[in-house]
Each structure stands twice: as structure tokens, then as C-alpha cells.
Structure 1
Amino acid sequence: MPRHDAADLARRLGEHAEAVCRHYLSNGRRSGNYWQVGDVRNAPGRSMFVRLRDSPKGSPGKWTDAATGEHGDLLDVIRESLGLVDFKEVADEARGFLAMPPPEQRSPSAKSPQVPTGSPEASRRLFAMSQPVLGTIVETYLRGRGITTLHGIGALRFHPRCYYRPDDHGPTETWPAMIAAVADLNGIQTGAHRTWLRPDGTGKAPVDTPRRAMGELLGHAVRFGVPGTVMAAGEGIETTLSLRCALPEMAMAAALSAAHLAAILFPPTLRRLYIIRDSDPAGDGARDALVERTMEAGIEAIVLTPRMEDFNEDLQHRGLPGLRCWIADQLTRSDRSRYLALAA
């Protein structure tokens, strides 16, 4: 790639420096005008600083690791955090993140190989064609549902014109959509979930089935955070994100349906699973099946029960302080002091 093309990609990434960091350096957090993380490979810690805004000291996206002396730009972040070797892969990943068209030197007749509709590869292409959610109508939609904890949601993206085919096989339509990456325990994307939205983000699109999944879903989930010994798992994305507003440092996973929640795979480090229950017969069935599986695996299972139908209703009607108060007694004492104290 010509040097000026690489510089242009780095500059474009710098314009979205915080979104890049939240996606590729998800173990870090913002501190003033910088993103702090352990190192360029996304280790937990605070020795690496990524500049988020332009300043006399440098342009956004430039970073330095105080512990090692390493420094670079956001292209280096993408390369190191994903373990890429070929610079073409780095550039392709950057263009996908930025929702940019392919490079001009590519022949117009050189089309990507066709992949089966609904396949894992098709889901990965859809996600790569989408863009970060901050500043888009996906953010408007989530905030309208009371969900304001939006760091660490790199598994969600926005597509402005996502194809929708009605169930009656009518003409294909396009609507803006929230695209969620479904991943296995190793973080490899196996599928995608689409939520079609109104153009102003005030709710779901007025179509018969505004939510659909594609790819390989069984056992996998939309993942927020890296699980250690404790995590939470629920059905819907909005329900899971609602609980995450109260417990922002707890790793969580949305399995997308009751049946898939019952079959979700457990990380090898897991010792305690919080089951985010929906108050309906399907939710009860998923809870019972999951409790049985955790017991067989030697994992402690604790069911979190909402006051209303689900935790998103609780969040919208009771507010975040009310939600925190409601779940406090449902957590173990150690997790209450660990996670609720951090959220306060």
C-alpha cells in the first residue's frame, strides 16, 4: 500500500479514536483526553495512552506505552490487537471498521466470491460493512430504551441500509439496522443479529419481523466484556445491556433467544453464572435448563429476576438507581461489593 494511503487510513481512524479504542482495546477505559490500557495487544492495565483529541502534543490516535517505550498509530493497534501479519489484512480491517469502499485500484469487475446467504461468512461481511454505533441512530435507539452505558459495545454496529425481505416474499426493502456480532468462546464471529430500526432511531422499524439472526448461533452469543470467573447471560440484547448499565464491569452475553440461552457454552474459567431471566414461560424453561447444565459443570448458577417482564422494562420504568437497588440482594456479597461499588 502506498505510504499516503496508509497515512490517510490512520488519519481517518484518528477521527474516531475513541470508538476504535472501545472496539480494539476493550480492556481499557477513557481517562480525560486519553484511552488507557495495558498494552497495544489489549492487556488490562494503565501503561499505554492513546490520544483521543488533537492537541499540540500530537494528533488523535497516536499512542505511547510508558512501560515499553513502544509507540504508533491506530493501524498498529488493529494489527497488534488482532494478531495480524499482512498489512493488507490490517488495511482491510480498518476499511471495514470505517465502512469505507474497497480501494480504487481494485478492478470494478473483481467481485468478492459469492457466499451462501445466512452463512457465517455472510454474517462477517455484513458486520465488516457496518460502522461503530456512537453518533448513529443505534445510539439514539439504545438511549431511548434507557441504555446509556455504551462503552465496550464493539459487538454492535450500525448499517444505514440493511436489506429486509418480508416473510411473504414481497419486494426487498432497506432499513437502518443495529448489527450484532455473534461469537464463540474464542471471539470468532459465527453469526450476526439484525434489528431493523426507524430512520430516526425512535424504535424498531414497522416491519413484521424487525429482528432476525443469521449464521451459526447454537452455543454462541453477542458478547460484552471478557469473562473471568463471573459472568451474566440473558436472551435479548436490550435486556442484557440494561443489566449491564447497573453492572458495567461484569462480562455479559446475549444468547438472542430462550432456546439458545439454555444451550450457551461456558468459558473454561467460569465459576459463577448469573442467569438474566425473562418473566415468561420460555424464560422459565431456559432458566431451568441452564441451572441444570451449570450444576453438571460444577458452576454456581444464580438467577436474576426482574420486577416486570424483563430488565429493560425495569430500567425504563424504575430508572437506574431503582434497578441497582432491586438486584443488589440478588448478587452474592462479594459480587455486590465488587460490581455495584464500581458502578456507583
Structure 2
Amino acid sequence: MPRHDASELAIRLGREAEAVCRHYLSAGRRAGRYWLVGDVQNTPGRSMFVRLTGPESGKGAAGKWTDMATGEHGDLLDIIRQSLGLVDFRDLAEEARRFLSLPYPEPEKTRTPPGSTSSAASGSPEASRRLFAMAQPIHGTLAEIYLRGRVITRLSGTIALRYHPRCYYRPDEHSPTEIRPALVAAVTDLSGHQTGAHRTWLAPDGSGKAAVETPRRAMGDLLGHAVRFGTAAEVLAAGEGIETVLSPRQVLPRMPMLAALSAAHLAAILFPATLRRLYIIRDRDPAGDGARSNLVARAASFGIEAISLTPVEGDFNDDLRRHGADGLRAALKDQLHPEDVRRFME
């Protein structure tokens, strides 16, 4: 966005400063000429104050804010950006214009210059960390309703999963951005550092995935990393999809598991130095077969015992939904090492 467009939007937002605060910083309250709130993430408190009156620009302008606890400061565009976890300025401008009910500018006729980092920035590890930080725990949300609809009810130890009620979705680069609820998962490396995020956009009532062409998308640095449930030591189970992995976890709640998010990424996961036995949660499809073969070979080269866990149906979530936890437990018990049955299975 050209600088003058950003400045104009900030000025227009400043004219509606209190309305902006009531919408994006709803946990705060007005106190004289200021709006008081805990921080720019809308935490209750009084350490951040936003000027509700003042000149249109410059020192003391309406909409300028300061967080006394951290020293952060900015304008109302920054509040919108951080409250929604936005990175791309086009998304930020669309949200500001939507709030102000302004018309959209004519699209520029120029191409993105070669080497532009705009798309890379919007999908960067930093952007994924920001998105995850803006999301909330899944308890009592549409994300929990969605998972329970997949018969995934044991959700303790799933801190890698969060819920974002207003996650941006763009069908393609030529379409306007939409706002939809989403299940957000943190992708982390072996040390637990977040490198990416995965989004599953949800139906408005949480009854399933959103009715869009690509309801699942990942962002950030994914290769070798995964969505993790528990910390792996000597034993680890690894699969592709989040629901696929959470399904055997319903009857193996203490076994560390990870979701690599695709067959290609499953074949490339990095192994903890302490790992001695790897369970491969496979899907019954050609991609799953290829990932399993590659992962078995890689594990063997590290001296790691690899054991395939094979579903009766297409994947383990199908098994869980069709045969229940008891049926899934019985099927898995026959495939696990006896030592792990005693250690991990209820």
C-alpha cells in the first residue's frame, strides 16, 4: 500500500477512534479522553492507552496509543493489524476499509517485481507465530465442536492447537479476502520453536470444514517440522493429518505423536536424538505408502525401529468414527510392541 494511502486510512480511523477501540479492543473502557486496555492483544487491564481526541496527525493525534508496560506505540492501523494477526498490508487495508465502509481503490496494473518478498512475508515463520499468538485455547470454541464431531474428545495435551474466530482466507490472489473461523495449529522444530502454522477453516457452526475449495493451508517453514502432541523421547508416533494423528491418541494418550501435515513432509520429519522406536501412522493411499517406505528406510539408517500402524478403513479417524474407541484400541493393540501396550495404552 502506498504510504499516503496508509496515512489517509490512519487519519480516517482516528476520526472514529472510540468506535475502533470498542470494536477491536472490547476488553477496555473509556476514561476521559483515552481508551484504557491491557495491551494491543485486547487483554483486560489499564497499561495501554489510546487517544480518542486530538489532531488528525502528528504528536498527540487521535488514535495514537502507547503501552506503558512494554513501551510499544503506534496508531489504529497497528491495533487492527495486531488484534487480527495480519501481516499483508492488502489484508490490513481491506479490513480498515471494511470497518470504515469505504470503497476499494482501483487495482494497480503493475506486476509484482521479480524478487518481491510480499508473498513470502505473509507466509513467513514470523507471520505464523503472530497468527498463533492471536488465537485462543480451543476449549469451548468452534474448534472443539469440530474435533468432537470427528469423535476426538480427549483434548488434554493439545496446546499446539488454538482457535481463531476471524482468520483471513483468500480463495486466490484475484479474490477479496474473507473472514472465517479456523482451527490453528503450531508447527514446531525439535526444540519446540515455532516455525510455521496450519489452518483448517471451519463451517460457521463448527459442524465440519468450511465450504471452500482449500479449507486447509499451511504457512511458514515446514520441512522436517510438525504439529506435536507431547515430547518424544524413545518412542514416537508420526502421521500426516492432525485428525488422523489425534485419533489413535484417543486410546494412546501418553504416547508422543506428531502430524507432519502431508505425505511428503511425513517422509522428511527429523528424528530426536533419543528416538529408538517410530510408529508410522499411515493412510491407505499411494501417497501414504510412499511416505511409509521412505520413512522406514530413513529410520533404519539411524538405527531406529520403524513399525507401521495400518487402519482398517481409509485412515484412523475413519476407524475411530466407524468402530469407536474400543474397536480402535483392539486394532492398535495387535500392532504395538508389547512393551508399549503396557506403557501407553489404557
Please tell me whether residue 275 in structure 1 is matched to residue 280 in structure 2.
yes
Q: What is the aligned counterpart of 1:318 among 313, 323, 327? A: 323
* 1:212 correspondence with 2:217: yes
Distance 1:177 1:128 in 2: 14
Shift, 1:169, TM fit: 2.6
1:307 corresponding residue in structure 2: 312
Q: What SS does structure 2 have at the residue aligned with 1:268?
A: coil
Shift in Å, 1:242:
0.4
Paired residues of 1:98 and 1:131 also in contact (CA < 8 A):
no
Query: Aligned pair 1:195/2:195, yes or no?
Result: no
Deviations 1:239-293 (A, max 9, x none): 0000110100000000000000000000111000000000000000000000000
CA deviations 1:200-234 (Å, max 9, x no partner) are 10000000100000000000000000111001000
1:80 equivalent in structure 2: none
Instruction: Give the equivalent residue in structure 2 for 1:103.
Output: 48
User: Residue 130 of structure 1 corresponds to which residue in structure 2?
Assistant: 135
Q: What is the SS of the residue equivalent to 1:209?
A: coil
Counterpart for residue 143 of structure 1: 148
| Partners of 1:131 and 1:158 within 8 A in 2 | yes
Alignment of 1:236-255 (within 5 A): 236-255=241-260
1:246-265 map, 5 Å:
246-265=251-270
Query: Structure 1 CA distance, aligned partners of 2:266 and 2:332?
Result: 20
Residues 97 and 129 of structure 1 are in contact (CA less than 8 Å); yes or no, is this contact kept in structure 2?
no
Aligned equivalent of 1:286: 291
Provide the C-alpha distance between the structure 2 equivalents of 1:103 and 1:97, rounded to a whole number of angstroms.
10
Structure 2 gaps, min length 5 = 1-26, 28-37, 50-65, 68-72, 89-120
Contact 1:99–1:131 at 8 Å: present in 2 too? no
Identify the match of residue 161 of structure 2 among 156, 162, 181: 156
Distance 1:170 1:256, change over 3 A: same
Q: How has the CA–CA distance of structure 1 residues 294 and 328 changed in structure 2, closer, same or farther, with 3 Å as cutoff?
A: same
> Contact conserved, 1:148 with 1:245, CA < 8 A, in 2?
yes
For residues 130 and 339 of structure 1, the distance between their equivalents in structure 2, rounded to whole angstroms, comes to 31
Distance in 1 (CA, whole Å) between partners of 2:216 and 2:47 is: 29
Aligned partner letter, 2:135: S
Change (3 A) 1:263 1:120: same
Q: C-alpha separation between the residues in 2 aligned to 1:221 and 1:182?
A: 5
**Are the equivalent residues in 2 in contact too, given 1:194–1:212 (CA < 8 A)?**
yes
* 1:234 match: 239
Residue 169 (structure 1) aligns with? 174
Relative distance call for 1:100 and 1:249 in structure 2 (3 A) is: farther
What's the secondary structure of 2:172's corresponding residue? coil
Measured in 2, the distance between the counterparts of 1:308 and 1:264 equals: 25
Q: Which residue of 2 aligns with 1:58?
A: none
Q: Name the CA distance, whole Å, in 2 between partners of 1:101 and 1:125.
A: 23
- The counterpart of 1:298, out of the listed 294, 303, 313, is 303
Aligned pairs, number? 250
Aligned-CA RMSD value: 2.4
Which AA in structure 2 matches 1:123?
S
Gaps in structure 1 of 5+ consecutive residues: 1-11, 13-90
Could you state the TM-score of these two structures normalised by the residue count of structure 2? Answer: 0.68
CA distance in 2, matches of 1:230, 1:103: 46
Q: Matches of 1:333 and 1:99 in 2, distance apart? A: 51
In structure 1, C-alpha distance between the alignment counterparts of 2:189 and 2:140, rounded to whole Å:
28
Cα offset, 1:337, TM superposition? 1.2
| Deviation of 1:98 (Å) | 6.5
**Quick one: distance in 2 between partners of 1:175 and 1:189?**
23
User: What's the CA shift for 1:167?
Assistant: 2.9
* Gap change, CA 1:315 and 1:98, over 3 Å in 2: farther
Determine if contact 1:96/1:130 at 8 Å carries over to the other structure: no
Q: Larger radius of gyration, structure 1 or 2?
A: 2
C-alpha deviation, 1:162, in angstroms: 0.4
Cα displacement (A) at 1:156:
0.4
Which amino acid in structure 2 is aligned with residue 103 of structure 1?
M
What letter corresponds to residue 324 of structure 2 in structure 1? G
**TM-score for the superposition, normalised by structure 1:** 0.69
The change in CA–CA distance for 1:98 and 1:223 in structure 2 (over 3 A counts) is: farther
